[in-house]
């Protein structure tokens, strides 16, 4: 017995020592890895590198473990980027901005918001230059705001208009005997069309053409104004790919010079009248310039709803009614919060979770003004939670609408037959049921269809009440159809065009306050399991490992399949995985 007691004491002592040693190493890592103070020097040029993923709201992980082990996700926050450009406009040490990024990790509406902020920066009289070896179309759209754009002599500009590609699986399903059983409402609700057809329907082609044309019109009109090139000429350039090399790009006035990197650095030196001190956007934000300081007592709450909508708690990447509704309640309870701005960036998802969030917002609206700001996407469930606001603001390039619902279940009946598998069921009652290995029977279809129709009717009624429209009018522009923000303004789904700051300004007017500060919600916290979820290969999570192994495009295809696998219940979701190129 004494031996066993001593053995247990030794084991316990070992683990206690191991824990103390782990804490000791964390302390050393935290001290050694402490960030040194960043000073913005005189004659500085702010360099914009936007290649990392940009989220509407990406709060810094302040946990000591994440900081000590450098486990924080690599992403940029849109609100901090916009604040940094605002601060740079008034910062005497910042002489200008250099846009030098290989890619733009932002969506269409986010990119437009950054571009607008850069236009405001130019009003200060400070310069903006841009340089790159190769400009993607989105990168060129952003960079076209610059006073001067330069390109490497062997570089090119991808300027060929917008396109979208959708994969269709009907023939694949027929060949291998695995398919999706679908129940839907809305002739435009094409989230499930790829599983029902082997080519694009006329209705789907109509809506994609419409919103792509609307977004392209916004792109070309913005570029036309900045570059003094007519929209007609820009379309000719796009039709003939006349930015495909540096000489053609210069001839067509897409750029102002063909130079090498060292020559670009010399131009920056000349415009600053001395050797410039280049400071990266991330360092500028770390210096404290990623926030707008205010001592005001009154607050405007900005609640970020970003990601797919799923029933449950939610996190930084997924909208769950648990986390969002707590944030709404906190904003309502805080007496210093005078108005709420809901920032929506979502393709939709669970209809049930959307309804629960809608209800909490409906209660909040009775207490305080509620304004919605739409980001890249506010579609289907994303529009569901936005529709009851006092006022809705969207970017012209926002994808919104998609008022429709569907249900989809995988079915492997034909595959099981080919493999010689037979499924037999025993039940105590005759209620409608579904099996992966049997065809969907009429009774189950009828019950599911009834649920889809009920949720669609509820969805349309929510929109009709929130937008002060008749059911029939909403139904006419619903049916699952997707619209650009510009189109949504014309058909009454949004009230104004603009960005997050415009929505905040409107909220300030509704609240009748003069001085205010922003309070961001929700508070995202990671538990120890999440923070230590890394591999010995240096990747933070399994998604990063898969992405690196199979490539970005294949990862998107993998994600599409994974999304359908994880769907539970009836969905109010974007009609397809939208990839605009």
Condensed to tens digits (0 to 9), the pLDDT of residues 544-555 reads: 555 555 555 555
State the pLDDT at residue 251: 97
If you write DSSP's letter for every residue of 144-181 in order, what string do you get?
A: TTSSEEEEEEEEEE------B-----HHHHHHHT-EEE
DSSP 287: I
Structure tokens at 236: 């000719």
Strand bridging mode 277-280 / 44-48: parallel
Q: What is the pLDDT of residue 182?
A: 82
Q: What is the chain's mean pLDDT, rounded?
A: 86
Distance between CA atoms of residues 525 and 531, nearest Å? 10
88 vs 284: CA distance, rounded Å: 9
Residue 487 CA, distance from chain mean position: 20
Relative to beta strand 571-573, strand 348-350 is antiparallel
pLDDT band at 537 (very low <50, low <70, confident <90, very high): very low
Residue 187 or 166, more confident: 166
Using CA atoms, how far apart are residues 402 and 383, in angstroms rounded to an integer?
8
pLDDT of residue 229: 97
Same fold yes or no, 44-159+241-289 and 299-420+431-573 = yes
Nearest to 98 by CA among 288, 279, 287: 279
Q: What is the CATH number of domain 44-159+241-289?
A: 3.90.226.10
Q: Are 111 and 104 in contact (CB under 8 A)?
A: yes
Q: At residue 329, what are phi and psi to the nearest 5 degrees?
A: -65, -40
Domain 299-420+431-573 has CATH 3.40.640.10: no
Q: In terms of DSSP H, where are the helices of 411-551?
A: 413-418, 442-467, 471-477, 485-491, 500-511, 528-531, 542-550
Report residue 367's pLDDT band, with 50, 70 and 90 as the boundaries.
very high
pLDDT greater than 80 at residue 463: yes
Give the start-end residues of each E strand in 31-113: 44-48, 53-55, 75-77, 94-99
Which tokens belong to 78?
Answer: 């849109």
Contact 413, 381 (CB under 8 A): no
Residue 430's pLDDT is 83
Catalytic residues: 189, 380
Considering just the CA atoms, what is the radius of gyration of the chain in Å?
27
With a cut of 70, say whether residue 385 has pLDDT above it. yes
Strand order in the sheet with 44-48: 257-258, 148-157, 127-135, 94-99, 44-48, 277-280
pLDDT (0 to 100) of residue 101: 95
Q: What ranges do the domains of the chain cover? A: 44-159+241-289, 299-420+431-573
* Nearest Cα to Cα of residue 348 among 396, 397, 399: 399
400, 378 contact by CB (below 8 A)? yes
CA distances from 404 to 181, 380, 384, 407, 567 (A): 17, 7, 10, 11, 16
Lowest mean pLDDT among 133-142, 145-154, 497-506, 558-567: 558-567
Quick check: 505 pLDDT over 90? yes
CA dihedral 221, 225, 226, 232 (to 10 degrees): 60
Distance from first CA to last CA of the chain, Å, rounded? 72
With CA atoms as reference, report the closest residue to 395 among 168, 112, 6, 19: 112
pLDDT in tens, 194-248: 888 899 988 889 889 999 999 999 999 999 999 999 999 999 999 999 999 999 9
CB proximity list for 120: less than 8 A, separation 6 or greater: 85, 86, 89
Distance CA 371, CA 339 (A): 8
Q: pTM of the predicted model, to two decimals?
A: 0.84
Q: Which of 370, 363, 374, 369 is nearest to 402 (CA)?
A: 374
More confident residue, 422 or 545: 422
278 strand-pairing partners: 45
pLDDT at 261 over 60: yes
């Amino acid at each position: 017995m004494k031996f066993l007691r001593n053995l247990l004491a030794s084991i316990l002592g070992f683990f206690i020592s191991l824990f103390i040693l782990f804490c000791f190493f964390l302390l050393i890592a935290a001290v050694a890895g402490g960030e040194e103070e960043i000073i913005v020097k005189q004659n500085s040029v702010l360099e914009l590198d936007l290649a990392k993923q940009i989220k509407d709201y990406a709060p810094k992980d302040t946990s000591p473990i994440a900081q000590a082990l450098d486990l924080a996700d690599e992403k940029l926050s849109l609100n901090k980027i916009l604040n940094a450009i605002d601060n740079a406009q008034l910062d005497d040490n910042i002489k200008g901005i250099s846009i030098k990024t290989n890619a733009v990790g932002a969506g269409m509406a986010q990119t437009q918001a950054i571009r607008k902020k850069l236009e405001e920066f130019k009003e200060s009289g400070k310069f903006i230059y841009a340089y790159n070896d190769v400009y993607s179309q989105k990168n060129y759209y952003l960079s076209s705001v610059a006073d001067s754009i330069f390109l490497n002599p062997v570089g090119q500009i991808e300027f060929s208009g917008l396109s979208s590609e959708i994969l269709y699986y009907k023939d694949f399903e027929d060949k291998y005997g695995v398919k999706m059983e679908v129940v839907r409402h809305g002739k435009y609700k094409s989230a499930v069309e790829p599983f029902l057809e082997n080519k694009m329907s006329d209705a789907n082609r109509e809506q994609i053409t419409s919103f792509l044309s609307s977004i392209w019109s916004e792109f070309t009109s913005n570029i036309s104004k900045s570059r003094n090139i007519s929209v007609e000429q820009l379309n000719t350039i796009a039709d003939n790919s006349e930015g495909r090399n540096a000489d053609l790009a210069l001839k067509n006035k897409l750029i102002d010079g063909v130079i090498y990197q060292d020559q670009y650095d010399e131009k920056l030196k000349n415009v600053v009248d001395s050797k410039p001190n280049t400071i990266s956007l991330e360092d500028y934000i770390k210096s404290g310039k990623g926030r707008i300081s205010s001592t005001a007592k009154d607050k405007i709450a900005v609640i970020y709803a970003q990601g797919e909508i799923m029933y449950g708690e939610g996190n930084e990447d997924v909208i769950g009614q648990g986390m969002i509704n707590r944030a709404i309640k906190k904003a309502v309870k805080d007496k210093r919060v005078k108005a709420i701005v809901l920032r929506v960036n979502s393709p939709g998802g669970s209809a049930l979770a959307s309804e629960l969030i809608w209800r909490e917002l409906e209660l909040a609206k009775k207490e305080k003004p509620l304004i919605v700001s739409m980001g890249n996407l506010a579609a289907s469930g994303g529009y569901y939670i936005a529709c009851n606001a006092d006022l809705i603001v969207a970017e012209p390039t926002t994808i919104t609408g998609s008022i429709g619902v569907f249900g989809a279940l995988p079915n492997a009946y034909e595959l099981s037959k080919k493999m010689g598998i037979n499924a037999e069921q025993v039940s105590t009652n005759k209620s409608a049921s579904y099996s992966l290995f049997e065809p969907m029977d009429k009774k189950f279809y009828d019950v599911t269809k009834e649920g889809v129709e009920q949720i669609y009717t509820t969805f349309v009624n929510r929109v009709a009440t929130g937008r002060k429209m008749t059911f029939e009018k909403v139904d006419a522009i619903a049916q699952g159809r997707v619209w650009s923000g510009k189109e949504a303004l014309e058909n009454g789904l949004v009230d104004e065009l603009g960005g997050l700051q415009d929505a905040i300004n409107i909220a300030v007017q509704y609240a009748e306050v003069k001085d205010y500060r922003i309070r961001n919600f929700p508070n995202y916290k990671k538990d120890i399991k999440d923070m230590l979820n890394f591999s010995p290969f240096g990747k933070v999570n399994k998604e990063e490992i898969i992405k690196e192994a199979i490539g970005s495009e294949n990862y998107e295809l993998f994600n599409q399949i994974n999304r359908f696998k994880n769907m539970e219940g009836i969905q109010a979701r974007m009609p397809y995985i939208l990839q605009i190129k």
